[in-house]
Amino acid sequence: MTALTRRLALGRGWRTPGAAVPDVLLALAFLLAMTAERLLTAPELPALLPGVVIAGSLAWWRRAPLTAYLLGTAALAVEAQTVLPGPLSPYANLIGLYALGRYATRARARCGPVVVLVGMAGYFGDPAVPAGVLLPWLLVWALGYATARRQEERAVARQRLRQRVAEQERARIARELHDIVGHTLNLMLVQAGAARRVLPRDPQQTVELLSGLEHTGREALDELDRVLGLLRRNGPPDEPDPQPSLQPGLADLPRLVGRLEQAGLRATVRMAAGARRLPRTLDVSAYRIVQEALTNTVKHGRADTVEITVDRSPEQLDILVLDSGRGAPGGYVPGRGLLGIAERVAMFGGSVEHGSVGQPGGGEGGGFRLRVTLPVG
């Protein structure tokens, strides 16, 4: 644990200028009470000095707990052996003992039981300290020590939670970038290739393809600007997306499919009416899953047609993407795209199946099949 984390765990606010005032006031209160009591019983100066040290040590009980407790304990033993023990002195010593367990570092706090034994032996003038007296002192130290350890554990847990949230945010941004860049570049390559092929025989269609290529690039730049804005923002990693309206959803599937049709891929979308009414995070993830599936179709499948079916029931959302391409070779290993889909599905506790048609989970005919089930609610 770093020194910063330890200070946060122990709540050491005394480093700010006004935070030591309560400690000084506590020390002054004990000093006045102990001095008044001593003036009534033993007004000599030597009798006052141990009480001054005992009370004064409380002004440092959080800033230097071990040193303060050692001074207070030594003064308590001197007071007990030279003059009558003051009635308030043991209580001041108990406060210092609690502070030792609560505010000292772990190594220094563990000195508490040893210092208690030595101090009690000095107080009674006998190494055989009564157990009935020793036990309450050790319990006070144990209370402070246990409180400090719980604070440390909470601080470590909070730090780990922040790190986990940051890692999840980085993974989410990485998935977003992969989906945006991968899909857009593949689509632009297909559009550019289609424009090159039709240029000699149909200049008008070439213009349309190039216009679609330009539009695709502009949309990709807008999305990239939004995602990169998440990296530039100064807020905490779990802060909501400042521009959620720019996130696409299932309602944007027709536009997504329209780009593919411009590039020569015939696409059919069948979407249940209820599929448009989803929680925002689920809606965005469902769109990205379909987008990645279509990216794989364009990049690897060499398909002519693709069918997208989105069904909605009260309990779940079903997504089926089936293309007419060449399918996947036997023993294929999922790439980044399919792994990204699996990560998105796992976030919602859903399931995913993929493979060439005819393999387990496949349909009829040729091509590649992807099915995703996402719980709703």
Cα distance from N-terminal residue to C-terminal residue, the chain: 40
Quote the tokens at residue 71: 């001074």
In whole angstroms, how large is the CA radius of gyration of the chain?
Answer: 36
State the Cα angle at 277 between 275 and 280, rounded to 5°: 105
Please report, in tens digits, the pLDDT of each residue of the chain (377 residues total).
444 444 444 444 444 444 578 888 888 998 898 888 878 776 777 778 888 899 988 988 888 999 999 999 999 989 888 887 788 889 999 999 999 999 999 999 999 999 999 988 888 877 887 888 889 989 999 999 999 999 889 988 888 877 887 777 677 677 777 666 766 776 777 667 777 777 888 788 777 777 777 776 777 666 676 666 656 554 444 444 444 445 788 888 888 888 777 667 788 899 888 887 888 888 888 888 888 888 778 777 677 888 999 999 888 999 999 988 877 766 677 777 788 888 888 888 899 998 887 544 444 446 888 999 999 86
Which pLDDT belongs to residue 358? 59
Domain boundaries, the chain: 3-129, 249-377
Q: Helix 21-41 and helix 45-57: axis angle, to 10°? A: 160
Select from 290, 292, 296 the least CA-distant residue to 325: 296
Angular region, 11: left φ>0, alpha ψ -120 to 50, beta rest: left
Count of other CB atoms within 10 angstroms of residue 15: 10
Which pLDDT belongs to residue 356? 80
Which pLDDT belongs to residue 232? 58
Q: Helix 131-198 and helix 203-232: axis angle, to 10°? A: 170
Fold of 249-377: Heat Shock Protein 90 (3.30.565)
**Separation of alpha carbons 297 and 325, rounded Å:** 7
pTM above 0.85, yes or no: no
Which pLDDT belongs to residue 188? 73
Give the dihedral sign, CA 105/109/111/116: positive
